[in-house]
Structure 1
Amino acid sequence: MANTKKVAAEVKEVAKETAAKTKAAAKETAAKAKKTATKAAAKTKAAVEKATEKDVVFVEFADKQLDIAVLVEAAKADYKAKGHRAPKAVKLYIKPEEGVAYYTVNDKGDADQKIDL
């Protein structure tokens, strides 16, 4: 019985040590996660700020003002709405006299690839 009490005491001590190590590891992991999240938030904030600092180009004609970036996004949305994957890049051909902007994707296009101005 004395031997059983001794083993039980040793097991209890090992359990305490394991619990202490686990608690310390959990604190360390939480600190690393917080640091990583803080860095990620800072990078995201910087990316958003950079994205909002882009140059803006407007075309004005016949009492209309067109934002080129908006037209490009509209062309991408039109292409996607026609059952294609969202294109990474498009070329835009603005025809004010026709009131439309034609676009190509991967240098390929047809008369159907157009958006109204």
Structure 2
Amino acid sequence: MATKKASTSTETKKTATVTKAAEPAKTPAAKTTTEKAAVKTEEKKTTVKAAEEKKAPAKAAAKKTTAKKTTAKKDIKVNAIVEYYGQQMDEKTIVANVKKAWTKSGRKVGEIKTMDLYIKPEESAVYYVINGVDTGAVALF
């Protein structure tokens, strides 16, 4: 019989809540309900923002570690020498000759963004393309 009493008490609670819901909402009670809903949505927003902020520093830290790895590598020093029939010319001298020809044509070395060199020892010449547009040639030896 104890089970029957428990079930009837829960039934009366259910009916009591149903009748309360059926009644028109009073103004103060309605405000508290909307305020509670607003607080819950704000809590959700702050939780989402906090989660995003936690992720952002982790991503930034990952980027910083990769940057450290690339800066740790040292540049390789290259010394290129062109040798043809017993004559030698190193890379620095070739670049200096091209820059000298560039300035003789009335331009400044600071204007050079890119420099492509085509070395043809059989013609004893270095052909160059500066900034992808201007071309010319200088003597190799």
Q: TM-score, normalised by structure 2?
A: 0.47
Gaps of 5+ in 1: 60-66, 94-101
Q: Which of 93, 98, 113 is the aligned partner of 1:71?
A: 93
Q: Say which structure is richer in helix.
A: 2
Helix, strand or coil for the counterpart of 2:127? strand
Going from structure 1 to structure 2, the CA distance change for 1:43 and 1:103 (only over 3 Å counts) comes to same
Give 2:108's aligned amino acid: A
Going from structure 1 to structure 2, the CA distance change for 1:54 and 1:13 (only over 3 Å counts) comes to same
Give the number of the structure whose alpha-carbon radius of gyration is greater.
2
Gaps of 5+ in 2: 1-27, 83-88, 130-134
Are 2:56 and 1:29 aligned? Answer: yes
Are 2:32 and 1:5 aligned? Answer: yes
Output one character per residue of 1:13-69: Cα deviation in whole Å (capped at 9) or x when no partner: 2212211211111220221122023213312432xx1x2x2332579xxxxxxx934
Give 1:42's aligned amino acid: K
Distance in 1 of aligned mates of 2:126 and 2:108 = 14
Distance in 1 of aligned mates of 2:29 and 2:72 = 64
Distance in 2 of aligned mates of 1:38 and 1:11 = 41
Q: How many residues align?
A: 95
Helix, strand or coil for the counterpart of 1:56? coil
Give 1:86's aligned amino acid: T
Distance in 1 of aligned mates of 2:98 and 2:114 = 6
Helix, strand or coil for the counterpart of 1:109? strand
Distance in 2 of aligned mates of 1:41 and 1:76 = 36
**C-alpha contact 1:90 1:104 (8 A) present in aligned 2:** yes
Going from structure 1 to structure 2, the CA distance change for 1:73 and 1:33 (only over 3 Å counts) comes to farther
Distance in 2 of aligned mates of 1:42 and 1:91 = 34
Distance in 2 of aligned mates of 1:76 and 1:30 = 49
